[in-house]
Structure 1
Amino acid sequence: MDIVVEAIFNFFTIADTEVISLAWELMKNQEPDGGPRTSAPADRTDALWGYRNKGKVKKYFGTSGKAVGQMYDPLGICSTACDDLVVADRGNHRIQIFDVNGRVKGCFGSEGTAEGQFDYVQGVCLTSRGGIVASELLNHRIQIFDEHGRFVREFGGEGSGDRELNCPIGVATDESGLIYVCDTGNQRIQVFSEEGKFVRKFASEGLARPNYLSVTPNGRVIVSDLRIHKVHVFDSQGRHLFQFGTKGANEGQFEEPSGVATDDHGNIIVCDSDNGRVQVFTSDGEFVTCFGSDLKPEGVCLLSGGQIAVTDSGNDRVQIF
Structure 2
Amino acid sequence: MVQPRDYKAVDKPKKIVNDDGNMGKPWGIAFGKDGVWAMTDSSNHCVYIFDSQDRLIRKFGTGNGLFYNPRGISFDANNCLYVVDGDNNRVQKFDVYGKYMLQFGHCGSGSGQLYDPIGIVVHNDKVFVAEGSNRRVSVFHLNAQFSHVIGSGQLSNPWGVAVTSNDQLLVADFNSGIFRFTLDGTYVDTFGDGLSWANALTTDIHGFILVGEQRSHCVSVFDKDGVFVHSFGSYGSAEGQFSCPRGIAVSPNNDVYVTDHYKRVQIF
TM-score (norm 2): 0.92
Q: CA deviation at 1:298?
A: 1.0
Indicate the SS of the match to 1:217. coil
Q: Which residue of 1 aligns with 2:238?
A: none
Query: What does 1:71-110 correspond to in 2, within 5 Å?
Result: 71-110=23-62
Paired with 2:58 and 2:171, the residues of 1 have a C-alpha distance of: 29
Q: Mapping of 1:108-123 within 5 angstroms?
A: 108-110=60-62, 115-123=64-72
Partner Cα separation in structure 2 for residue 184 and residue 133 of structure 1: 18
Structure 2 residue 60 is matched with structure 1 residue 60: no
Shift of residue 101, structure 1, vs aligned partner: 4.3
Shift of 1:191: 0.9
Q: Which amino acid counterpart does residue 56 of structure 2 have in structure 1?
A: V
* Match in the other structure for 1:311: 259
1:177, distance to aligned residue in structure 2 (A): 2.8
Q: Which residue of 2 aligns with 1:155?
A: 104
Q: 1:44 aligns to what?
A: none
Return the alpha-carbon distance in structure 2 between the equivalents of residues 204 and 267 of structure 1: 26
CA distance in 1: counterparts of 2:141 and 2:153, whole angstroms? 26
- TM-score, with normalisation over the residues of structure 1? 0.77
Shift of 1:52: 2.8
Instruction: Determine the C-alpha separation between the residues in 2 that align with 1:145 and 1:167.
Output: 21
Structure 1 unmatched ranges of 5 or more: 1-38, 42-46, 247-252
- Which residue of structure 1 aligns with residue 202 of structure 2? 261
Look at both structures and tell me which one has the larger radius of gyration over its CA atoms.
1
- Which residue of the other structure, out of 101, 104, 119, is the alignment partner of 1:170? 119
In the other structure, the counterpart of 2:192 is: 245
Moved more, 91-100 or 209-218: 91-100
User: Following the alignment from structure 2 to structure 1, what is the Cα–Cα distance between the partners of residues 50 and 148?
Assistant: 34
* Superposition misfits of 4+ residues, deviation over 4 angstroms: none
Residue 31 of structure 1 corresponds to none
1:235 is aligned to 2:182? yes
Give 1:186-265 correspondences, 5 Å limit.
186-226=134-174, 228-246=175-193, 253-265=194-206
Change in Cα spacing, 1:286 to 1:276, as seen in structure 2 (3 Å) is same
Q: Deviations over 1:69-118 (max 9, x none)?
A: x21111000012222220001101100112354421011004xxx62100
8 Å Cα contact 2:130/2:138 also seen in 1: yes
Deviations along 1:135-179, one digit per CA (max 9) or x if unpaired, are 1111110100011110000011111111100011100011x2311
The aligned counterpart of 1:32 is: none
AA aligned opposite 1:169: I
3-state DSSP of counterpart to 2:92? strand
Please give the alpha-carbon distance, in whole angstroms, between the structure 1 residues aligned to 2:141 and 2:82: 12
Give the letter aligned to residue 197 of structure 2. Answer: E
Q: Return the alpha-carbon distance in structure 2 between the equivalents of residues 203 and 304 of structure 1.
A: 30
CA distance in 1, matches of 2:153, 2:106: 25
RMSD over equivalenced CA pairs, Å? 1.7
Partners of 2:34 and 2:52 within 8 A in 1 = no
2:223 aligned partner: 282
CA distance in 2, matches of 1:177, 1:205: 25
Structure 2, gaps ≥5 residues long? 235-240
**Percent of residue pairs bearing the same amino acid type:** 31
**Residue identity opposite 2:2 in structure 1:** A
Report how far residue 309 of structure 1 moved: 0.2
Higher strand residue share = 2
